[in-house]
Amino acid sequence: MQTRSQIVTQPVPAVSDQLEIEKIEIRTVRLPLNEPFETSSGRIESRLIFLVSVEAGGLTGWGEVVAAEEPLYSYETVGTAQQVIRDYLVAAMLSRPNADLADLAARFAAFRGHNMAKAGLELAYMDLLARARDRSLSQLIGGVRGRIAVGVSLGIQLTSDRLLERVDQYLAVGYQRIKLKIKPGWDVDVVREVRRHYPDILLSVDANSAYTIADEHHLRALDDFGLLMIEQPLDHDDLVEHAKLQSRMTTPICLDESITGMKRAEQALDMGSCQIINIKIGRVGGYSQALAIHDLCYSRGIPVWCGGMLESGIGRAHNIALASLPGFSLPGDISASSRYFARDMIAPEVTVAADGTVEVPRASGLGFEVDLDYIISKTETVERFERNA
């Protein structure tokens, strides 16, 4: 199979990627969620959105750090990302002109971990680069799709009737795949009930590491329901036990939390820990790693899809660009702005068509207007950093 550099990077003209970033701004903006979101690790009612913007030559690029306020999904938090960006990454980015994405990624690689913090800056850099070249982000990274298929991730509900209402509502507006959050006590019976009502839909489950290998027998009961996948059943950093479980289950395992970069993806595939990978740009440390994981999976025939972190429109716009790459063959967790927020910070907002697809914008950069007035009105903190003249 062709590699991405053959099929994708070739048409890009030989323009230098060099950007001399003059200014970096990091900002937190609180947006209430339309409805609380509950997973096996907890429940949130609002999202503290962490925005990053970078400026060069009169242009601004936007990114988002997807960390949550508490270290539940990952060890990173809004607070740790602020500290790492402020104390380490800003200096690395501003120290000299950025030759290209690989140059930026190499500077960040000197610091261990903190992928979401790094990704926020990589995202902003790539939006800026796309704008500087007057290309869409999708074009810049080699996207091939004009529309992407999307699904919805449904949090744990109070009752299964309430969940069925939700499923019904999202299927009615076109979503192509329903993902149910599960945890012990909210799993096999709930899945059976949803399957009974909807025998033919694309249905998956996401445990966010709520089980151990001792639950093998229980988890295998899920094999009866023709699920598209089970996402991250076991520990966030355990490839070995996922490989054991996968060898004993027919439902494909998809890894989310465990895939923290290209190396881990390769190891997971080599060990048989999963058959599908959920790529989140933030979790893997930015475009550099996300593109590499995409290319790896594409070359091995492993399906990937774009995960979500309840992003604002800015992070979502990056996800849409990423999901336009050829290997993204399964519907992503990229839902309409209105599924999350009463008002998003981009215009137009992200909408899902009746066929369960989202349009990939063709305008330069993110392809959406950033609603700065609204952002400023909801800002909790802002810090600015400038390159020494």
Which residues bind to ligand OSB, rule: CB under 6 A? 73, 153, 206, 208, 256, 307-310, 333, 335
Give the residue at shortest CB distance from Mg ion.
Answer: 256
The DSSP letter of residue 252 is P
Largest pairwise CA distance in the chain: 66
Among 176, 184, 153, 149, smallest CA distance to 166 is for 153
**Binding status of residue 38 toward Mg ion by CB under 5 A:** no
Calculate the alpha carbon distances from 344 to 33, 48, 311 in Å. 11, 13, 10
- Minimum gap (Å) between residue 26 Cβ and ligand OSB: 21
What backbone torsions phi and psi does residue 309 show, to the nearest 5 degrees?
Answer: -130, 35
295 contributes a contact to Mg ion by CB under 5 A: no
Query: Which CB atom, from 121 or from 207, has the smaller least distance to ligand OSB?
Result: 207
**Active-site entry in 118, 179, 181, 378:** 181
The contact pattern for Mg ion, residues 197-226, with x = CB under 5 A and - = no contact, is: ---------x--------------------
As a whole number of angstroms, the distance between CA 130 and CA 116 comes to 21
- Cα distances from 377 to residues 27, 31, 153, 342, 344, in angstroms, run 12, 11, 29, 15, 13
Residue 76 or residue 256: which is nearer to ligand OSB going by CB? Answer: 256
Q: How far apart are CA 145 and CA 151, in angstroms?
A: 17
Least separation in angstroms between CB 74 and ligand OSB: 9
Instruction: Please say which residue, 139 or 312, places its beta carbon nearer to ligand OSB.
Output: 312
**Which of the choices Mg ion, ligand OSB, none does residue 153 contact, using the CB cut-off of 5 to 8 A by kind?**
ligand OSB
Q: How many residues bind Mg ion (CB under 5 A)?
A: 3
Q: What would the two tokens of residue 17 be?
A: 């990627």
Listed residue (156, 128, 152, 126) closest to 141, CA to CA: 126
Question: What are the tokens at 137?
Answer: 């982000």
Buried b (16+ CB within 10 A) or exposed e, 128-159: bbbbbbebbbbbbbbbebeebbbbbbbbbbee
From 30-38, 256-264, 289-297, 337-345, span contacting Mg ion (CB under 5 A):
256-264
CA nearest 64: which of 267, 307, 312?
Answer: 312
Q: Rounded CA gap, 259 and 289, in Å?
A: 10
DSSP character at residue 47? E
Q: Are 103 and 80 in contact (CB under 8 A)?
A: no
Our CB check for ligand OSB shows the closer of 84 and 310 to be: 310
**Shortest distance in whole angstroms from residue 213 CB to ligand OSB:** 20
- Asked if the peptide bond before residue 13 counts as cis, ω within 30 degrees of 0, the response is no
Percentage helix, strand, coil, to 5, in the chain?
Answer: 40, 25, 35
Min CB(340)–ligand OSB separation in Å: 7
The entry of ligand OSB, Mg ion, none that residue 335 binds, CB within 5 to 8 Å by partner kind: ligand OSB
Closest contact distance (angstroms) between CB of 149 and ligand OSB is 14
Among residues 55 and 333, whose Cβ is nearest to ligand OSB? 333
Rounded to 5 degrees, what angle do the CA atoms 154, 157, 163 make? 65
Residue 257: CB minimum distance to Mg ion, A: 7
CB of 89 to ligand OSB, least distance (A): 22
181 is catalytic: yes
CA 350 to chain centre: 15
The verdict on whether 378 is a catalytic residue reads no
Residue 53 or 335 with smaller CB distance to ligand OSB:
335
Please, which residue, 98 or 278, has the CB nearer to ligand OSB? 278
Amino acid occupying residue 301: G
Contact between 256 and Mg ion per CB under 5 A: yes
Which residue minimizes CB distance to ligand OSB? Answer: 308
Name the site residues for Mg ion (rule: CB under 5 A).
Answer: 206, 231, 256
Q: Give the catalytic positions in this structure.
A: 181, 280
